[in-house]
Structure 1
Amino acid sequence: MNKLEPQAGACRVYLVIANPGGPDIADLKLDFILFNQDQVIEKRVAASLAPVAAGKTTVKLFDIDGQDCARIGSVLINDVMSCGTAEGAIADCAKRITPSSRTAAKLFK
C-alpha cells in the first residue's frame, strides 16, 4: 500500500503490485478488512486488481466510498477471492502476496 488519498466522500487506495516471477495474472480479486485506529473493523471491501503482467510492477487504485482515510489504522488482506491466469486458477496465490505499507496504516495478511 503506497498511498491513501482523500476524495470527495471516499478514500482512494494506491497499491503497488509486483509480479517478478510470473505468470501473467489475468484475474486477481482480494477481500480487504479495514480497521480504525482502535483496531475496530470499519468496513469490508473487495477489489479487482488484475491484470498484472509477468515481470511487471504496476500501480492499481480503487476508491472506498464513504471512508475517511484518516480513520484507517490498518488493512487486512482477508482472502484471495480469485487469482488466475488466462488458463485457470493459480494454486496458493495467497502465499505469493507479501504485504507492506508506506502509509501510516499497516497492510497485513
Structure 2
Amino acid sequence: MTGLTASLRLLTSTLAMSLAMVPARARQPALVPALALELNGAQPSEKGCRLTFVVNNNLGADLFKAAFEIALFNEAGGVDRLTVLDFKDLPVGKTKVTRFDLAGTDCAKVSRVLINSATECAGTGVEPNACMRKLKTDTRTGIAFGV
C-alpha cells in the first residue's frame, strides 16, 4: 500500500502543478455574448419613482443606441403604463449606471417591470434583434423584472 499511496501523491502533485501552469484565461469559460440589464434600485423621487439600472454590454460591439419599451404592473397585476427607456450609447465591455424618473409613479405600487421590446438596438455589426435575443435580466429589488 505504501507504493500505491506514494504514486497517488505524485500523480496529485503533478496534476496540481500542471493546472497551476495553465493561464487563468484558458481555465475560464468563454464569455457568452449578452446584454446584461439589472434593475438595481427603485426609490421615490420628487417626480414619482426613480428606477436605477446597471447595464453591461458584452455583445462584442458598441451600441450607439439602445432603448426598451417597458410595462409597469401595479400591485394587482394590471398594466399601469407603458413607457420607453432610452439607455443611449452602451460601449462594449463597459458597465453603465442609468437612472430614470417616472413621473406620477408610486414605487411602492410597482410589482413588476416587464421589458416588452427593444425599440432601438443599433451598433456596427449588431443585429437589430440582439438587444432582446441576448438580453439577460436581474433585479436587486423586490420588484419582479424581466422579459
Same fold by TM-score, threshold 0.5 exceeded? yes
Partner of 2:16: none
- Is the 1:22–1:53 Cα contact (8 Å) retained in structure 2? no
- Is the 2:121–2:129 Cα contact (8 Å) retained in structure 1? no
Partner of 1:40: 78
Partner of 2:5: none
- In structure 2, C-alpha distance between the alignment counterparts of 1:51 and 1:60, rounded to whole Å: 11
User: How many residues are aligned here?
Assistant: 108
Partner of 1:96: 134
Greater helix fraction, Structure 1 or Structure 2: 2
Q: What are the ranges of 5 or more consecutive residues in structure 1 without an aligned counterpart?
A: none
- Is the 2:57–2:91 Cα contact (8 Å) retained in structure 1? yes
Q: Is the counterpart of residue 73 in structure 1 residue 111 in structure 2? A: yes
Partner of 1:30: 68
Partner of 2:95: 57
- Is the 1:20–1:57 Cα contact (8 Å) retained in structure 2? no
Q: Which has more radius of gyration?
A: 2
- Is the 1:25–1:84 Cα contact (8 Å) retained in structure 2? yes
Q: CA deviation at 1:90?
A: 2.5
Q: CA RMSD in A?
A: 1.4
Q: Deviations over 1:12-49 (max 9, x none)?
A: 11111011242101111100000012211111110100
Q: CA deviation at 1:59?
A: 0.7
Sequence identity of aligned pairs in percent?
27
- In structure 2, C-alpha distance between the alignment counterparts of 1:2 and 1:30, rounded to whole Å: 16
SS in 1 for 2:70: strand
Q: Which moved more, 1:5-14 or 1:70-79?
A: 5-14
Q: CA deviation at 1:62?
A: 0.9
